[in-house]
């Protein structure tokens, strides 16, 4: 079997060692030696974008937490109109550089799209400075709300972080959150913030063209919609759920993405 080749190295602000590696046409980003993301399994990242935009009547302004390998951003751009704008908040400058260098063509160079504005830094800082600015906010930070590899990410998924996300959304806007598995407490927190929340299970690899089929590992996308003008959210304590999900096996420290 062909060995893995480390192409680039970097460090996240918290000191986590990151590595970009390839084996043939497959690329991975590792954090502390564990696979963070892979070019072979990006179906749930694409589903994050698709499910969020399905719930937006006229999406024009989107905030994406982290660039990853570019697949979520590409899925957004393929579905957004020509006059839309996407702000990408990326914590690690090297990840942005890799997306303009060795892995740029994996998702057809999404950072080169004129609708995209890259901002280096913490996504929560971008959220906190916005008031009613976004039709959709997409977050893919760490392993999700509960399976955190980095304790600092609790602030994003806690009550204050959710309130900041709601304040940054326009009326009827959507907060979409990737997770390795289900989290009833996070769903309840979304509802308590006045958001209409549900959890949708999706295949990790996506459609059959990615080898996903109908089985295999499944992830969760939380979808939380802000009330439209004159509307209200679902009654707290009665969140909608679309089945269960299996947690991604093994360590998966997605927090290094800055998502």
Q: What CATH number should be reported for the domain holding residue 227?
A: 3.40.50.150
- Count structural domains, the chain: 1
Q: What is the pLDDT of residue 153?
A: 63
In a domain, 132, yes or no: yes
Query: How would residue 233 be classed by pLDDT, with cut points 50, 70 and 90?
Result: very low
Tell me the pLDDT tens digit for each residue of 94-137.
999 999 999 999 999 999 999 999 999 999 999 999 999 999 99
- Segment 58-77 shows an average pLDDT of 96
In a domain, 16, yes or no: no
Query: How would residue 252 be classed by pLDDT, with cut points 50, 70 and 90?
Result: very low
In a domain, 102, yes or no: yes
**Which residues on neighbouring strands pair with residue 11, listed in sequence order?**
17
With a cut of 90, say whether residue 35 has pLDDT above it: no
In whole numbers, what is the pLDDT of the chain averaged over residues?
85
With a cut of 70, say whether residue 244 has pLDDT above it: no
Of 29-33, 59-63, 94-98, 139-143, minimum mean pLDDT range: 139-143
In a domain, 20, yes or no: no
Q: What is the pLDDT of residue 207?
A: 56
Q: What is the pLDDT of residue 87?
A: 98
CA–CA separation, 40 and 69 (whole Å): 11
Query: How would residue 200 be classed by pLDDT, with cut points 50, 70 and 90?
Result: very high
**For residue 64, what are the domain limits?**
40-257
Query: How would residue 256 be classed by pLDDT, with cut points 50, 70 and 90?
Result: very low
pTM of the model: 0.84
In a domain, 215, yes or no: yes
Q: What is the pLDDT of residue 259?
A: 38
Residue with tokens 């009330």, as numbered in its chain:
227
Residue ranges of alpha helices (H) inside 121-237 are 123-128, 154-157, 159-168, 184-192
218 to each of 42, 59, 96, how far by Cα in Å? 11, 27, 27
Length of the chain: 259
In a domain, 167, yes or no: yes
Q: What is the pLDDT of residue 95?
A: 96
CB 81 within 8 A of CB 240: no
Q: pLDDT higher for 147 or 64? A: 64
In a domain, 154, yes or no: yes
CB 91 within 8 A of CB 66: yes
In a domain, 231, yes or no: yes
- Segment 167-180 shows an average pLDDT of 95
Q: What is the pLDDT of residue 220?
A: 94
């Amino acid at each position: 079997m062909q060995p893995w080749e480390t192409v680039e190295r970097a460090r996240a602000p918290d000191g986590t060692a990151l590595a970009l590696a390839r084996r043939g046409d497959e690329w991975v980003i590792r954090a502390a030696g564990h696979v963070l993301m892979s070019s072979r399994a990006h179906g749930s990242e694409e589903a994050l974008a698709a499910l969020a935009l399905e719930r937006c009547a006229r999406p024009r302004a989107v905030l994406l937490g982290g660039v990853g390998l570019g697949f979520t951003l590409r899925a957004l751009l393929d579905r957004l109109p020509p006059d839309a704008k996407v702000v990408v908040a990326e914590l690690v400058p090297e990840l942005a550089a890799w997306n303009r260098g060795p892995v740029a063509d994996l998702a057809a160079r999404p950072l080169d799209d004129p609708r995209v504005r890259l901002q280096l830094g913490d996504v929560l800082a971008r959220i906190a400075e916005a008031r009613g600015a976004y039709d959709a906010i997409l977050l893919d930070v760490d392993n999700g709300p509960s399976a955190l590899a980095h304790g600092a990410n609790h602030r994003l998924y806690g009550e204050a972080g959710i309130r900041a996300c709601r304040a940054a959304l326009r009326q009827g806007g959507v907060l979409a959150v990737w997770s390795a598995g289900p989290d009833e407490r996070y769903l309840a927190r979304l509802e308590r913030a006045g958001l209409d929340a549900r959890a949708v299970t999706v295949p990790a690899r996506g459609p059959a063209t990615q080898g996903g089929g109908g089985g295999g590992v499944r992830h969760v996308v939380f979808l939380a919609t802000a009330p439209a003008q004159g509307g209200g959210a679902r009654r707290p304590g009665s969140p909608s759920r679309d089945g269960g999900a299996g947690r991604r096996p093994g360590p998966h420290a997605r927090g290094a993405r800055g998502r």
